[in-house]
Structure 1
Amino acid sequence: MTEPAPLAELTPVPRKTSPVLEQLERCRPFLEPVLEATPWEELSRQVASGHAQLWPGESAAMVTRVIGDTLEVWLGGGDLKELLQLQDGVAAFGRSMGCSRATIEGRAGWGRVLKTNGWAASFVTYERPL
């Protein structure tokens, strides 16, 4: 029977990085500024597990989640024109997942842009620090 190698001689098996996580990291400059309360590691876990979907562009990115019959546009950052170009493909994905509507939460300024693209306000969220 042979002796096991000393720990100093062992090297870890290289961990393969998934292509989606590589894309997520490439899109970090677009998404990290809009994360607010969500840590980057949590976003990475959500995307890696398939609970969130990454829609990368060249200079923008969007992240969605399917919640029941709703496609939630969770995050979007980067070039506005490119974000708007992503919405048809994202909508087709939502329909293929059985979603009957899409939602976005954002600052009031988004309303002006979204209204011209078929979106309508359905509720307003107010907050205050505690």
Structure 2
Amino acid sequence: MKVCVPSANNGGLDDIVGQHFGMVPTYTVMDIENNSVEIVENTSEHKGGVGLPPELLSKAGVNIMLCGGLGQSAVNMFCEYGIDVFVGAQGTVETAINDWKEGNLVSPTSENVCQGHGHDEDDHQH
């Protein structure tokens, strides 16, 4: 199973979780069966390329997407590709993956999806 986290910089477990998942430069993908890590460059149309991140990450074999937050249309798109989404990820990529493993991240609901680009960090329960 492959878990993906949007990365703010060059990717990897020590990178910081990117808060605007479509605009990040890279996605860090971890295969939790063998703990291998792959860095996927964001070549989507958000970064001047083609396609959208859910399509790109589906081709990379991603099963789970962990992010700080994202809009309902993005959640729907990930669902179309069979990718489960969890929100509330913060800190490093490794922290986000560990939080997910411990059950501390939640599925998106109408209450916690982002409305536009204003992220209110106080809304996420820790």
Same structural fold, with TM-score higher than 0.5 when normalized by the shorter chain? no
Q: TM-score, normalised by structure 1?
A: 0.32
Larger radius of gyration: 1
Higher helix content, 1 or 2: 1
**Larger RCO: 1 or 2 (CA < 8 Å, sep 6+):** 2
